[in-house]
Amino acid sequence: MKDYYELLGVGKDATPDELKKAFRQMALKYHPDRNSGDKASEEKFKEINEAYSCLSDPNKRANYDRFGTADGAGAGMDFGGFSSQFTDIFDDFFGDIFRGSSGQQRRQRATRGSDMRYDLELSLKEAAFGVDKTITIPRHELCQACSGTGSVDGKKPVTCTACNGAGQVRFQQGFFSISKTCSRCNGAGSIIVDPCNQCRGVGRVKRTRSVSVKIPPGVDTNTKLKMSGEGELGALGGPPGDLYIFILVQEDPFFKREGMHIICDVPISYTIAVLGGEIEVPTLKGSEHIKIHPGTQSGELFRLRGDGISRVGGGDKGDQIVRIAIDVPRKLTQRQRELLEELANINGEEVHRRFFDKLKGHFTGE
């Protein structure tokens, strides 16, 4: 049994935010787009997704912590496998008795195609404002050479003479009428006499298809988009499955996302912090100017309303929070040093003295 916490590199007391951060870092590291052809990374990526899918769901996580599985099924006897095997045996040997002497046909039917998954990596700006993407996916599509029939020149399959189209052959064994899948047509009830050279009689071929995806504004890592009918082609004329797009948003070097809000650390000089002024700050959609009031402290926050992330589907929009960081120079010119020394002489140790006056009052209770 895999340890989901160990896969994500977190402790069992990890918060949802810590789980999300760990998943994002691991997913970016092992994403298939960054490790093309590396089977080990691809397998690791699948394991990471499996772990986060379980631990990010409170109910599944509770079951996993208690029982060791996401669905809460404990160890012990596996009746599922036994039941399935017994049903198969019962159906093969005694099915005809309960179905009646008419022998209901069990020919293969059209089945829906499998769903597919595609992991799409986006920048923070693309996730914030939405973007149109074109992705390429390998999938099975209808063979054009035989129009999906599996036969040369599109000829229809002929009825299997071994089972007369029933898909099963029946024979008597003692008191029982036993039905078995026809070995000649494999239960299809028909046989392709001249298989198509392109699809080898399957009726489907694997091709790479380009799909246009419209990403709405506001998506985040683990947002799932569904594209109906873009999955695998169904068998025997069945409908196609669906394509699910899983979003993975890259870390941004300047902006940090917190829900619908954007946080940006902006450095300013100590002279602007003291005297005030106007500065230019970056936003996701460009740059804006904000006024800095005299005496601004490091860590002080300024809010740009409506410059954050939109809610998926429209409606509310977050803000951008500008966090001030006072930039203290490491090197000074001679003139700068002289001016600062003059300022220090004027101020004396006023700030330091006020601090100790407060500290003294704290201990004396004044």
Instruction: Write the CB contacts of 14 (distance below 8 Å, at least 6 apart in sequence).
Output: 5, 8, 22, 55
Per CATH, the number for 255-328 is: 2.60.260.20
User: Rounded CA gap, 303 and 22, in Å?
Assistant: 29
Give the model's pLDDT for residue 177.
Answer: 64
User: Rounded CA gap, 218 and 264, in Å?
Assistant: 18
Instruction: Determine the average pLDDT of the residues in 342-366.
Output: 65
347 versus 206: which is more confidently predicted? 206
Coil/strand/helix, residue 296:
coil
Q: How many CB atoms lie within 10 A of CB 286?
A: 7
Q: Strand 261-269 to strand 255-258: parallel, antiparallel, or no bridges (unpaired)?
A: antiparallel
Superfamily (CATH) of domain 90-249: Heat shock protein DnaJ, cysteine-rich domain (2.10.230.10)
Provide the mean pLDDT of the chain: 81
| pLDDT surpasses 60 at 87 | no
Lowest mean pLDDT among 66-70, 117-121, 130-134, 320-324: 66-70
In which band, very low, low, confident or very high, does the pLDDT at 73 lie, cut at 50, 70 and 90? low
Give the model's pLDDT for residue 279.
Answer: 95
In which band, very low, low, confident or very high, does the pLDDT at 102 lie, cut at 50, 70 and 90? very low
Indicate the pTM of the whole model. 0.57
Give the model's pLDDT for residue 59.
Answer: 83
| pLDDT surpasses 70 at 185 | yes
13-52 per-position pLDDT tens digit:
899 888 988 988 888 888 876 777 788 888 888 888 888 8
- Identify which of 135, 126, 144 has the alpha carbon closest to the alpha carbon of residue 230: 135
Task: Decide: 179 and 172 in contact? Cβ < 8 Å.
Answer: no
User: What single letter denotes the amino acid at residue 81?
Assistant: G
| CATH architecture of residue range(s) 4-67 | Orthogonal Bundle (1.10)
Give the model's pLDDT for residue 346.
Answer: 78
